[in-house]
Amino acid sequence: MTPVQKLAGMVALIVLLMACAAGVTWQVQDWRMGKKLVEQAGLHKDDLAAISNAAAGQARAEQQKRLAAEQQLALQDQQHRKELFDAQRNQARLRDQLATSDVRLSVLVEDSASGCNVPATPSAVGVVHAARRAQLDPAHAQRIVAITDEGDNAIIALRACQAHVKEIMN
């Protein structure tokens, strides 16, 4: 073998050894990086699971809060409906009593001529020493009761609206 051939063989051997070293280094780096990527993927998976659990917990809490608010509003609505029904029933009973003359509405009559509150003539109802009263015509009494009915209904509706707004603001 000639020195050039020996030199060429040595160069080839060195290149071959360098290529093998590069391949082995490449393989080792691949294993190390693969291991790091698997670890990072595991950590990422754990982070995503924690985020998902937190979001699901928050969604459950919001849903429970919404359901509690809906139940509270339903109870308030039921209470206001009962108040309205009771008021309407009482109003209907009063209208019936006025219509059958079981009850008569009256107003105070000021008698400025005499300083005495004793009626001039005793009434059949009883002897009561009080201010003089005048009975209203049943038609006028019915109109007055209708006006007060509307007022009572408006007050009940206003209370229901106020309770609803208070519940929403809390």
- In the chain, where are the structural domains located? 3-114+130-169
Place 137 in a pLDDT band, splitting at 50, 70 and 90: confident
Provide the sign of the torsion angle of the four alpha carbons 64, 70, 73, 77, taken in this order: negative
Strands, E assignment, the chain: 106-109, 132-135
- Both structure tokens of 141: 């009494």
**DSSP 8-state code for residue 110:** -
Among all chains, which residue has been given the structure tokens 């008698």? 111
Q: Are the beta carbons of 135 and 104 closer than 8 angstroms?
A: yes
pLDDT at residue 76, rounded to an integer: 87
- Other C-beta atoms closer than 10 Å to the C-beta of 108 total 10
- Both structure tokens of 113: 């001529």
CA distance linking residue 107 with residue 59, whole number of Å:
62
pTM above 0.75, yes or no: no
Q: What is the mean pLDDT of residues 120-125?
A: 53
| Percent residues over pLDDT 90 in the chain | 21
Residue of 106, 93, 94, 79 whose CA lies nearest to 164: 79
- Both structure tokens of 170: 């809390």
Place 67 in a pLDDT band, splitting at 50, 70 and 90: very high
pLDDT at 28 over 80: yes
CA distance linking residue 162 with residue 155, whole number of Å:
10
Q: What is the mean pLDDT of residues 76-99?
A: 86
Place 52 in a pLDDT band, splitting at 50, 70 and 90: very high
Q: What is the mean pLDDT of residues 20-32?
A: 89
More confident residue, 133 or 147: 147
Q: How does the average pLDDT of the chain come out, rounded?
A: 82
More confident residue, 139 or 111: 139
Q: What residues have CB less than 8 Å from 9, skipping those under 6 apart? A: 1
pLDDT at residue 112, rounded to an integer: 60
